[in-house]
């Protein structure tokens, strides 16, 4: 690690909670002059929340920020920017029908003597920045007419133009072409030479060797490892990313898989865009699933795992191709209703966005998919509904003061259990679980693992998508690995090791990284 005279920004004991989830639980971070700190960790680990706090988007519940040795508190992003902290968000924050130059200098436009915007200077300054980023678009072009990668570079140009001393980049390369990435790395090297400190969030390990000085790994809202990058072997990184709890706290019951439930052949999903990137989100994936079996599905972010589940659940009827058999009958669900009728159920990755109706009660959420079974004389009957759904709520040990409690007031783990209860109440054959333990605490995780085990023993087939290797290793009877839309490997439980799975999950070019 660098000497602490280089320390520019320190975060200590940062805590941040949102309703139902503790996003950050005592996180500390050191950012040093002229160095790039890579922040690793899966979605939901708390990286973006931490960056938002550093950039003044929202305040921490507890903890301190120290800038140049003095405690600071940013009431808003402008204050953070004034203190020299710039951020490029993962989602683009550009105004589509303003020009490139207007976007770069939004709120800081050069003025003429009369107070009007000095367009010649605005455009000249923007042009200079664009040249530095080798972005061949005129400063007067509209953002809406640019490719996503070019828009990303405009965001970066804006951040660079703010002359920040600390620059936060949240997955800046996710939509850049190989050449654009090279240019960005050149700019990063230049910034480092000038003493700018960078915080860099990425899922792409191959990038680390190119730009990284220090690494901090986060999981479940905590920092689980810190190291200077050159000291870090690939094994060490894997261990940091992987964590330990799952293996230590959960013993899987040996499975006796039964008859085939699901068979998928050549499932393919074309991407919606016309960009230069790869054209298929899911590319010719074949697999099967048997009764009583847990199939773990591993892959890095963007590998096409979620999209694969979406195909199975009837969410891409027009765009998906391939063959699908459920219990030996050809069936390609054209809608979620179709999929549910065929015995499928999906617990989505983003519970709040896709899984829960937040203004409704626990009971109403749990009965939403099976309300038809609880009617009396065609009408909703609160008593019958409660009687029907209560055993499922109890079975999953949902901690709630009552069935009438609003779902929004439950913790993430209990919300997830309500979703499991909802689907089990429909009597499914196949459960598709997308990141079932994301953003929930360790104890609830352990419970969810036990439920998955129980459901498999009951004869359900489960597909569990997870970015957490130990989770995959602990739960799965078989592991399937995806990378860039394709299935790259399949292992039995006995064959599956962290190294083998990771090797299959990384794009081929990364074999030499780390």
Q: Which listed range, 30-38, 287-295, 400-408, 437-445, lies at the site for other proteins (CB under 8 A)?
A: 400-408
Q: Does residue 57 touch other proteins according to CB under 8 A?
A: no
Q: Which listed range, 203-211, 216-224, 255-263, 353-361, lies at the site for other proteins (CB under 8 A)?
A: 353-361
Q: Does residue 19 touch other proteins according to CB under 8 A?
A: yes
Q: Does residue 317 touch other proteins according to CB under 8 A?
A: no
Q: Torsion over CA of 466, 472, 478 and 484, rounded to 10 degrees? A: 40
Element (H, E) at 396: none
SS3 track for 357-390 = CCCCEHHHHHHCCCHHHHCECCECCHHHHHHHHH
Closer residue to other proteins (CB): 289 or 363: 363
- Which listed residue (48, 361, 416, 510) binds other proteins by CB under 8 A? 361
For the chain, what percentages of helix, strand and coil (3-state, to nearest 5) are there?
35, 25, 35
CB of 396 to other proteins, least distance (A): 17
Of 109, 150, 110, 120, residue with least CA distance to 133: 150
* Token couple for 37: 């700190």
- Which listed residue (422, 438, 445, 487) binds other proteins by CB under 8 A? 422
Residue 325 to residue 262: CA distance in whole angstroms: 6
CB of 473 to other proteins, least distance (A): 28
Of 259, 246, 238, residue with least CA distance to 476: 246
Q: Does residue 95 touch other proteins according to CB under 8 A?
A: no
Q: Does residue 387 touch other proteins according to CB under 8 A?
A: no
Task: Return the sign of the alpha-carbon dihedral for residues 241, 244, 250, 254.
Answer: positive
Residue 473 to residue 500: CA distance in whole angstroms: 11
Span 258-287, contacts to other proteins by CB under 8 A: none
Of 280, 277, 260, 256, residue with least CA distance to 269: 280
Q: Does residue 380 touch other proteins according to CB under 8 A?
A: yes
Closer residue to other proteins (CB): 364 or 483: 364
Q: Does residue 60 touch other proteins according to CB under 8 A?
A: no
- Which listed residue (168, 211, 303, 364) binds other proteins by CB under 8 A? 364
- Which listed residue (241, 269, 289, 339) binds other proteins by CB under 8 A? 339
Q: Does residue 318 touch other proteins according to CB under 8 A?
A: no
Q: Which listed range, 66-74, 298-306, 355-363, 459-467, lies at the site for other proteins (CB under 8 A)?
A: 355-363
Q: Does residue 235 touch other proteins according to CB under 8 A?
A: no
Residue 62 to residue 26: CA distance in whole angstroms: 8
Residue count (the chain) = 514
Q: Which listed range, 137-145, 368-376, 446-454, 502-510, lies at the site for other proteins (CB under 8 A)?
A: 368-376
Q: Does residue 56 touch other proteins according to CB under 8 A?
A: no
- Which listed residue (385, 468, 471, 484) binds other proteins by CB under 8 A? 385
Q: Does residue 359 touch other proteins according to CB under 8 A?
A: yes
DSSP code of residue 354: I
CB of 459 to other proteins, least distance (A): 22
CB of 20 to other proteins, least distance (A): 10
Closer residue to other proteins (CB): 181 or 371: 371
* Token couple for 399: 């901690």
Q: Which listed range, 66-74, 76-84, 107-115, 330-338, lies at the site for other proteins (CB under 8 A)?
A: 330-338
Residue 64 near residue 260 (C-beta atoms within 8 A):
no
Q: Does residue 340 touch other proteins according to CB under 8 A?
A: yes
| Tokens 């790395």 -> residue | 185
Number of residues in contact with other proteins under rule CB under 8 A: 39
| Tokens 């009764």 -> residue | 291
Residue 437 to residue 447: CA distance in whole angstroms: 10
Of 363, 505, 513, 383, residue with least CA distance to 42: 505
Residue 407 to residue 398: CA distance in whole angstroms: 11
Closer residue to other proteins (CB): 218 or 363: 363
DSSP code of residue 162: T
Residue 32 to residue 197: CA distance in whole angstroms: 6
CB of 378 to other proteins, least distance (A): 8
Closer residue to other proteins (CB): 62 or 380: 380
- Which listed residue (292, 355, 470, 485) binds other proteins by CB under 8 A? 355
Element (H, E) at 331: none
* Token couple for 243: 């964590």
Q: Which listed range, 107-115, 136-144, 175-183, 350-358, lies at the site for other proteins (CB under 8 A)?
A: 350-358
Q: Does residue 378 touch other proteins according to CB under 8 A?
A: yes
Task: Return the sign of the alpha-carbon dihedral for residues 259, 313, 458, 374.
Answer: negative
x/- track of binding to other proteins for residues 137-166 (CB under 8 A): ------------------------------
CB of 466 to other proteins, least distance (A): 19
Q: Which listed range, 125-133, 279-287, 333-341, 392-400, lies at the site for other proteins (CB under 8 A)?
A: 333-341
Here the contacts of 223-231 (C-beta below 8 Å, separation 24 or greater) are 223/27, 223/28, 223/29, 226/30, 228/1, 228/2, 229/38
Beta sheet of 62-67, edge-to-edge order: 21-32, 7-18, 62-67, 70-72
Closer residue to other proteins (CB): 7 or 368: 368
**What residue ranges bind other proteins (CB under 8 A)?**
18-19, 58, 313, 315, 335-337, 339-341, 346, 348, 353-361, 363-364, 368-369, 371-372, 375, 378-382, 385, 404, 406, 408, 422
């Amino acid at each position: 690690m660098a000497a602490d005279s280089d320390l520019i920004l320190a975060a200590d004991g940062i805590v941040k909670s949102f309703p139902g989830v503790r996003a950050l639980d005592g996180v500390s971070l050191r950012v040093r002059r002229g160095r790039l700190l890579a922040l690793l960790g899966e979605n939901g680990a708390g990286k973006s929340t931490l960056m938002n706090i550093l950039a003044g988007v929202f305040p921490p519940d507890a903890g301190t920020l120290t800038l140049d040795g003095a405690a600071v508190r940013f009431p808003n992003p402008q204050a953070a920017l004034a203190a020299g902290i710039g951020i490029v968000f993962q989602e683009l924050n550009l105004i589509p029908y303003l020009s490139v130059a207007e976007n770069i200098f939004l709120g800081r436009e050069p003025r003429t003597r009369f107070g009007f915007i000095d367009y010649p200077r605005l455009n000249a300054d923007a042009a200079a920045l664009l040249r530095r980023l080798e972005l061949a678009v005129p400063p007067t072009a509209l953002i809406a007419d640019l490719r996503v990668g070019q828009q990303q570079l405009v965001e970066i140009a804006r951040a660079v133009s703010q002359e920040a001393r600390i620059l936060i980049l949240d997955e800046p390369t996710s939509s850049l072409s190989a050449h654009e990435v090279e240019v960005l790395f050149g700019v990063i090297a230049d910034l480092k030479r000038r003493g700018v400190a960078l915080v860099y969030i990425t899922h792409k390990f191959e990038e680390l060797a190119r730009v990284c000085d220090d690494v901090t790994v986060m999981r479940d809202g905590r920092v689980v490892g810190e190291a200077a990058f050159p000291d870090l072997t690939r094994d060490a990184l894997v261990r940091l990313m992987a964590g330990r709890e799952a293996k230590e706290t959960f013993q899987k019951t040996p499975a006796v898989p039964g008859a085939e439930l699901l068979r998928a052949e050549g499932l393919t999903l074309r991407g919606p865009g016309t960009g230069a990137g790869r054209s298929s989100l899911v590319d010719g994936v074949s697999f099967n699933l048997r009764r009583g079996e847990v199939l773990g599905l591993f892959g890095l972010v963007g590998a096409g795992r979620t999209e694969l589940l979406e195909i199975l659940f009837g969410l891409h009827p027009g765009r998906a191709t391939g063959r699908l058999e459920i219990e030996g009958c050809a069936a390609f669900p054209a809608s979620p209703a179709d999929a549910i009728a065929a015995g499928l159920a999906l617990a989505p990755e983003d519970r709040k966005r896709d899984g829960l109706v937040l203004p409704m009660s626990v009971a109403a959420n749990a009965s939403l998919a099976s309300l038809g079974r609880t009617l009396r004389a065609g009408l909703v009957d609160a008593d019958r509904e409660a009687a029907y759904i209560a055993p499922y709520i109890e079975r999953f040990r949902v901690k709630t003061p009552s069935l009438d409690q609003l779902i929004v007031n439950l913790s993430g783990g209990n919300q997830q259990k309500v979703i499991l209860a909802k689907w089990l109440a429909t009597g499914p054959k196949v459960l598709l679980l997308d990141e079932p333990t994301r953003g929930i605490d360790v104890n609830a995780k352990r419970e969810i693992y036990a439920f998955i085990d129980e459901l498999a023993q009951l004869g359900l087939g489960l597909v569990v998508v997870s970015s957490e290797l130990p989770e995959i290793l602990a739960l799965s009877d078989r592991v399937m690995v995806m990378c860039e839309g394709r299935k790259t490997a399949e292992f039995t439980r006995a064959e599956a090791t962290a190294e083998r799975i990771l090797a299959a999950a990384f794009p081929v070019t990364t074999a030499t990284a780390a």
